[in-house]
Amino acid sequence: MAGGMLPIHVIQATSRGVRSALDGLLALLLAPRCAACEALLSRPLDGAVCEGCWERIRLITPPACRLCGDPLPSWRTATLENGTCPRCRRAPGHIDRGGSAGHYEGALRSIVHALKYEGRRSIAPDLAALMRSRCRDLLLDADAIVPVPLHARRLRARGFNQAEEIARHLELPVMACLWRQRDTQPQNELPASRRHRNVRDAFGLKETRAGAWRRGRWGQPCADSPSIAGKRLVLVDDVSTTGATLQECARMLKLGGAREVRAVTAARVVRSRP
Ligand SMILES: [Zn+2]
Ligand SMILES: [Zn+2]
C-alpha cells in the first residue's frame, strides 16, 4: 500500500460501520421518533421521517394532466384530450405545465405538516429529493425556481417559508421575486368558490436594483424585472389545493415577462378521481 493509504473500500466500510454504530447510539440514548408517524427511528441519522412513511406516500403516477398534475383515467384519454383534465380544458389559466409528487393525504400529509407546523426544516431536503425524482421533466431545463411567498406576518410567526426551504434543495437557482401583499385567509379554510377571489391581487413582483430584490409598487408588476423576462420559471409550494394561489402567482410572473411558468408541489389535493 503506497504511502500508508487505505483502499477506498476499507474507508467506506469503516465510515458505514461508524455511522451505523452512531445511529444505534442515538436511537438508544435519545429515542427520537418519526416526525410523521411517531414510530421510534432506528436510523435517526437518515432523517426525521422513517423509511416506512416515505414508502407509504401515495405517489401521483402518469398519466396526469400536464397543466395541473391531476391523474387522468387512462393513456387513451390523455392522448385524446391533449394531456389535460376537463377542469383545465374549461379554464386553462396561466400555468404552462404542472405536477406534484404525491396525493395530499396519509403519510405525505403528515410529513408536510411536520415541516410546516412543527418546524422540522430538516424534512425539506428529503421532500425536495422526492420532487426532483417525481417531477424531473418539469425541472430539467428550467432557468430558476420561484417559491410561493408567505405574508411577512406569517413568516415572522413561523420563522421560515416552507416553500423556500424546499426550493433551496431543487438544484436550480432560486429567485424569491414574489411577495405577498395581503395576508390572505388560508385557502383550506375557504370553500372552493371563494378561493380565487381570496388570492386575487394578493401577490406582487419585487424590483431588482443593484442585484437585490425589493418590493415593487402595491399590486403593480415592476417594469424593470430583467431577471424574469424571457425566463422559464418553476413555481414551488408544499401543497396545491385548488391551484388558485399558483395561478395568481403565475399571472404575476407572466405580467413580469416570464416566457414560461411551470408549477411543482410536493403534494396535491386531487379533485377529479380517475
Ligand atoms: Zn414514520
Ligand atoms: Zn388539469
Residues, beta carbon < 5 Å, ion ligand 1: 34, 36-37, 50, 53
- Among all bound ligands, the one having the nearest atom to the CA of 65 is 2
Question: What DSSP letter does each residue of 6-69 carry, written as one string?
Answer: PPHHHHHHHHHHHHHHHHHHHHHHH--B-TTT-PBPS-GGG-SS-HHHHHH--B--SSB-TTT-
The string of DSSP letters for 152-171 reads HHHHHHHSS-HHHHHHTTSS
Q: pLDDT tens for residues 218-269?
A: 434 444 445 788 999 999 999 999 899 999 999 999 998 999 999 999 999 9
CA angle 264, 267, 269 (to 5 degrees): 110
- Peptide linkage before 62 cis (omega within 30 of 0): no
Say how many Å lie between the CA of residue 145 and the centre of ligand 2: 21
69 CA from centroid of ligand 2 (Å): 6
274 pLDDT more than 60: no
Cβ proximity of 215 and 179 under 8 Å: yes
Helix 192-199 and helix 244-255, axial crossing angle in degrees, nearest 10 = 30
For 106-131, the pLDDT digits (tens) are 999 999 999 999 999 999 999 999 99
* Overall number of domains in the chain: 2
Shared-domain flag, residues 17 and 87: no
Give the H or E element holding residue 147: strand 144-147
Helix axes 106-117, 124-134, angle to 10 degrees: 140
Mean pLDDT of 4-17: 69
pLDDT interval class at 206 (50, 70, 90): confident
In a domain, 99, yes or no: yes
pTM of this prediction? 0.84
**pLDDT value, residue 207:** 66
Residue 213's pLDDT is: 46
Q: Are residues 52 and 65 in the same domain?
A: no
Distance, CA 229 to ligand 1 centroid (Å)? Answer: 43
Burial of 104 (0-12, 13-18, 19+ CB in 10 A): buried
Grid cell digits, residue 93: 389559466
Q: Separation of 252 CA from ligand 2 center, angstroms?
A: 20
82 and 42 fall within a common domain = no
pLDDT of residue 78: 86
pLDDT at 219: 38
CB 266 within 8 A of CB 102: yes
- How does DSSP assign 107-129, residue by residue? HHHHHHHHHHHS--GGGHHHHHH
Distance 91 CA to ligand 2 centre (A): 9
Cα of 66 from ligand 1 centre, angstroms:
31
Residues 128 and 34 in one domain: no
pLDDT in tens, 50-99: 999 999 999 999 999 999 999 999 999 888 889 999 999 999 899 999 99
For 160-200, how does the pLDDT look when each residue is reduced to its tens digit (9 = 90+)?
999 999 999 999 988 888 989 888 888 778 887 788 888 88
**Cis amide leading into 63 (omega within 30):** yes
Rounded to whole angstroms, how far apart are CA atoms 223 and 216? 9
Could you list the residue range(s) of the whole structural domain that residue 209 is in?
58-268
For the cut 90, the answer to whether the pLDDT of residue 273 exceeds it is no
Q: How far is the CA of 219 from the centre of ligand 2 (A)?
A: 28
CATH number at residue 124: 3.40.50
The reply to whether 34 and 107 lie within a common domain is no
The sign of the torsion formed by the CA atoms of 69, 263, 129, 39 equals negative
Residue 195, helix vs strand vs coil: helix
Residues 32-42 have pLDDT tens digits of 899 999 999 88
Residue at 7 is within a domain: no
Q: Is residue 1 part of a domain?
A: no
